[in-house]
Amino acid sequence: MSQSDTEPTDGTHAATQPHSPSSNVTLQSSCVQQRQHVTDTDHQTHDHALHTNLKRGMESRHLQMISLGGVIGTGLFLSSGYTIQQAGPIGTILAYGIGALIVYLVMLTLGELSVAMPVTGSFHVYAERFIGPGTGFVIAIQYWLTWTVALGSEFTAAGLLMQRWFPHTPTWIWSAACIMLIFTANALSVRFFAEAEFVFASIKVFAICAFIAIGMLAIVGIIPIAGYEHAPMFDNLIKDGAFPNGFMPVFATILTVNFAFSGTELIGVTAGETRDPETAVPKAIHTTLWRLVLFFIGSIVVMCALIPWRQAGVGESPFVLVFNSIGIPYAADIMNFVVLTAVLSASNSGLYASTRMVWSMGHEGMIPRWFAKTNRRGVPMLALCAAMAGGLLALLSSVIAASTVYLVLVALSGLSAVVVWIAIAYCQIVFRRRWLAAGHTTDELKYRTPGYPYVSWAAFILCTASFVLVIFDKEQRFALVAEIVFIVICYAIYYVQAWWRRQRLARSSADVREDFADNM
């Protein structure tokens, strides 16, 4: 975030200058126009999104389920046992608690930006305006890469999960079926995408709630569980001490938890296609923390109470272990279905997020503008095809170059979400400063980040610390190095591209002057 990055390359980015009086006027006018447009959507439900022809087809219930669907994935259902085995019961609960706090702070800062400026592809648009056009380009590429790599892994997972029921069919057939299903859901309309995500996420939420409820009944002895003659209660949580493997594994787990919680920021991407974002966005944000605490920490507590922590990561999913111990029939098949819906949900959200980021980059002129074209249903089909192509390339790399290209992509995508969080928090700090400098008051904001500036700076510092302190984790140190190199490359691409455009413009201007002189 160098000073040179805050300088606009042309007049369209004048609002990014931090001390220009004209920037305050531009910012004020932009925000007033956006708030007026949001008000108008109450009466015109099919109005196009601000400065675009993307349709506002999502409602508050969609937004809340999308935010949950983006977070609850295979990590909780399959990999949580490994996390418990590394950090111990109390250490895992502590790590998830800290992770939930960090993501909640980020969501509070994102809420103010999303309500004031409900635009699709919000992260890089905010970074472009409040940090600099170069950073906006980097954030767009980072977020696109995060979901593109996720798409490749989810398509593979879908095929593998179907092998349980159809062991004699090739994996690629089911992966292809998943690809066609998710592509169709996104191609029909934003409303169809939202309804599909609502259904997928609802299944996951129901499964987690059932797991916690049944598990708590077993913990207090109302439901018998194999291996216990009396109520297990919570003895397993502290039987071997709070941190049986020391505190360093807890720190490494916090880094993993931050990655697991990536996806909540999808609320910002959807704001430009949500009806009445002034109401829907804050509501979705305020329900995020307690739901994350309930679903993640509640599940972890049940697992740790009913399964000795040393056995939690061995063999199969902790969910299956608990259901089998309680005697629920077809537990493995039930969880296989739930995990399959989690995969479909993640790929559905991932394709949507990747598509909107491609569309937004085209809309902002970072890539050819025809990527921003939409059809009569408001779907950016060219951007959708480009996003799906990226997911298929990631899938291909996972098969052909899993130990080289795909390994680097996975490393980059893991930290990219944290980089986006850092940018969100910093953008909100700059936005509020400019808002007040323009003569406005905080009362004029439809939604305000509570506890500003302490909450905003806490989000920025904690996310930055999560990024930098990865260097102390040997297993993830490669990811940090790869991410830093990738960021430098992205900045270099942007500035080379900007230089080339200036040179081309200068040559065109010179040709025009020569033609004019010849005609004289």
Give the model confidence (pLDDT) of 256-269 as tens digits: 777 777 777 877 77
Whether the predicted pLDDT of 454 surpasses 90: yes
What would the two tokens of residue 306 be?
Answer: 């009913």
Q: What is the pLDDT of residues 272-292, one digit of tens each?
A: 667 777 777 777 777 767 777
> Cα angle at 69 between 87 and 57, to 5 degrees?
160
Helix intervals (H) in 119-265? 122-130, 133-162, 171-188, 190-219, 235-238, 248-260
Backbone angles phi, psi at 55, to 5 degrees: -90, 145
Q: Rounded to an integer, what distance in angstroms lies between the CA atom of residue 459 and that of residue 467?
A: 12
* 90 within domain boundaries: yes
Domain for residue 20, yes or no?
A: no
Does the residue 121 lie in any domain?
A: yes
Residue 58 is given by DSSP the state B
Whether the predicted pLDDT of 415 surpasses 50: yes
Residues 6+ apart with CB under 8 A from 100: 261, 289, 292, 293, 296, 297
Asked if residues 128 and 365 have their Cβ atoms less than 8 Å apart, the reply is no
Q: How many domains does the chain have?
A: 1
Residue 338 — φ and ψ, nearest 5°?
Answer: -65, -45
Which residues touch 142 (CB under 8 Å, ≥6 apart)?
416, 419, 420, 487, 490
Query: What are the C-alpha distances in Å from 261 to residues 44, 138, 418, 443?
Result: 35, 21, 10, 31
| CA of residue 42 relative to chain centroid, distance | 27
**CA–CA distance, 224 with 221 (Å, rounded to integer):** 6
- Flag whether 520 is in a domain: no
**In this structure, is residue 493 part of a structural domain?**
no
Name residue 55's beta-bridge partners: 48
- Yes or no: say if 357 and 121 are a contact pair by the CB < 8 Å rule: yes
Please, which residues bridge with residue 45 across strands? Answer: none
pTM of the model: 0.80
Residues 6 or more apart whose CB falls under 8 angstroms from that of 307 comprise: 81, 236, 318, 321, 322, 325
Decide which of 107 and 313 is more confident: 107
Contact 63, 114 (CB under 8 A): no
C-alpha 317/C-alpha 333 separation (Å) is 12
How far is Cα 316 from Cα 399, in angstroms, rounded to an integer? 24
Q: State how far the Cα of 318 lies from the Cα of 324, in Å rounded to an integer.
A: 10
Burial call 422-447: b when 16+ CB within 10 Å, e when fewer = bbbbbbbbbbbebbeebebeeeebbb
Give the pLDDT band (50/70/90) at residue 12.
Answer: very low
CATH code where residue 454 lies: 1.20.1740.10
How many CA atoms lie less than 13 Å away from 474 in the CB half-sphere?
A: 2
Q: With pLDDT > 70 as the criterion, what percentage of the chain qualifies?
A: 82
Q: What six digits make up the tokens of 316?
A: 């199969």
Total residues found in the chain within this entry: 520
Residue 494 to residue 133: CA distance in whole angstroms:
9
Beta-bridge mates of residue 58:
274
DSSP state of 47: P
In degrees rounded to 5, what are phi and psi of residue 26?
A: -60, -45
How close are the terminal C-alpha atoms of the chain, in Å?
48
Cα–chain center distance at 138: 16
> Which residue matches tokens 């080379």?
496
Can you give the pLDDT at residue 54? 58
Q: Based on the number of CB atoms within 10 Å of its own CB, is 1 exposed (0-12), middle (13-18) or buried (19 or more)?
A: middle
Confidence category of residue 436, pLDDT binned at 50, 70, 90: very high
264 vs 397: CA distance, rounded Å: 27
Give residue 391's domain range. 57-470
Residue 17 lies in a domain: no
CB 85 within 8 A of CB 79: no
Task: State how far the Cα of 365 lies from the Cα of 482, in Å rounded to an integer.
Answer: 27
Rounded-to-integer distance, Cα 233 and Cα 274, Å: 44
Range scoring the smallest mean pLDDT among 63-72, 285-294, 392-401 = 63-72
Query: pLDDT tens across 335-367, in order?
Result: 889 888 988 888 888 898 888 888 888 888 888
Burial class (CB in 10 A: 0-12, 13-18, 19+), 381: middle
Give the mean model confidence (pLDDT) for residues 468-476: 79
Number of H helices, E strands in the chain: 19, 0
* Secondary structure string (H, E, C) spanning 375-403: CCCCCCHHHHHHHHHHHHHHHHHHHHCCC
Q: Return the beta strands (E) in 329-477 as ranges.
A: none
Helix ranges (H only) for 220-326 are 235-238, 248-260, 266-270, 277-292, 298-306, 318-326
**3-state SS class at 48:** strand
Residue whose entry in the numeric block shows the structure tokens 């299944």: 203
Q: Is residue 433 in some structural domain? A: yes
> pLDDT digit string (tens) for 84-121?
888 888 888 888 888 888 888 998 999 899 888 877 66
Classify residue 29: in a domain, yes or no: no
CB atoms within 10 A of CB 89: 27
pLDDT digit string (tens) for 129-186?
999 999 999 999 988 888 888 888 888 888 888 888 988 888 888 889 999 999 999 8
